[in-house]
Amino acid sequence: MMKKETLTRALRTAVIAATLSAAAGLAHAHGDVTPQAVDTSALKPIGGDWLEKNPYRKNGDAIRIGDSAFSQNCARCHGIGAVSGGIAPDLRNLPAGDEGDEFFIARIRHGVTRNGAVYMPPFEGTLTQEAMWAIRAWLETVHVD
Ligand code: HEC
């Protein structure tokens, strides 16, 4: 049986190690984003023009596809199930409905770079527009006010 003090120290060390490795993963992700293919063949194709409103809102196929696309491409920063661990904003708080669509699509297409530092990589060219709106359709199912 470990003494309480030793146990507390062991736990603290484990937490620090986990935080550091998450930060290293983030730094790596900034420079080297591996595109994750998202199969959107179950969805009606959107075509070339960028939309400002989600054509797949409440679409069951889109929600299922978006759930998995989020896990593969976004969760490492925004958290599993979109529950933020503090590295990036909690996307459950994005405004729901048409109101939040334009902001969402701009962010995911272009990412966020400030003073030369990439906070979030752009996904245009990596994810299709179909995959992006599918993610948005799923995000709205976990929305909190
Ligand atoms: C490398 C980490 C990283 C990845 C991967 C990432 N993001 Fe982000 N994202 C961020 C950070 C950090 C911010 C906050 C940027 C800032 O300071 O404005 C952000 C901001 C956002 C915002 C704006 C939120 C707000 O309230 O300002 C949206 C929307 C968003 N991300 C969606 C996504 C989606 C969808 C994906 C997956 C396709 C994704 N992000 C992948 C790090 C990431």
pLDDT digits 0-9 by tens, 81-108: 999 999 999 999 999 999 999 999 999 9
- Residue spans of the domains in the chain: they are 1-32, 36-141
Per-residue pLDDT of 33-66, as tens digits, reads 566 789 999 999 999 899 999 999 999 999 999 9
Residues whose CB is less than 8 angstroms from the CB of residue 21 and which lie 6 or more positions away in sequence, other chains included: none
pLDDT digit string (tens) for 22-33?
544 454 444 345
Q: Which atom belonging to ligand 1 lies closest to the Cα atom of 127?
A: 38
Q: How many CB atoms lie within 10 A of CB 4?
A: 8
Buried b (16+ CB within 10 A) or exposed e, 92-119: bebeeeeebbeebbebbbebeeeeeeee
Gap from CA of 26 to ligand 1 centroid (Å): 12
Cα 17 to ligand 1 centroid, rounded to whole Å: 24
Question: Taking phi first (over 0 means left), then psi (-120 to 50 degrees means alpha), and beta for anything else, what does residue 79 get?
Answer: left
**Mean pLDDT, to the nearest integer, of 73-80?**
96
CB 41, CB 62: distance < 8 Å: no
Give residue ranges with CB within 6 A of ligand 1: 26, 29-30, 73-74, 76-78, 88-89, 91, 94, 104, 107-108, 112, 119-121, 123, 135
- Percent of the chain scored above 90 by pLDDT? 71
This prediction's pTM: 0.82
> What is the topology classification, in CATH, of domain 36-141?
Cytochrome Bc1 Complex; Chain D, domain 2 (1.10.760)
pLDDT for residue 73:
96
| Residue with CA nearest ligand 1 atom 40 | 74
Cα(48) to centroid(ligand 1), Å = 24
User: How large a percentage of the chain has pLDDT more than 70?
Assistant: 76
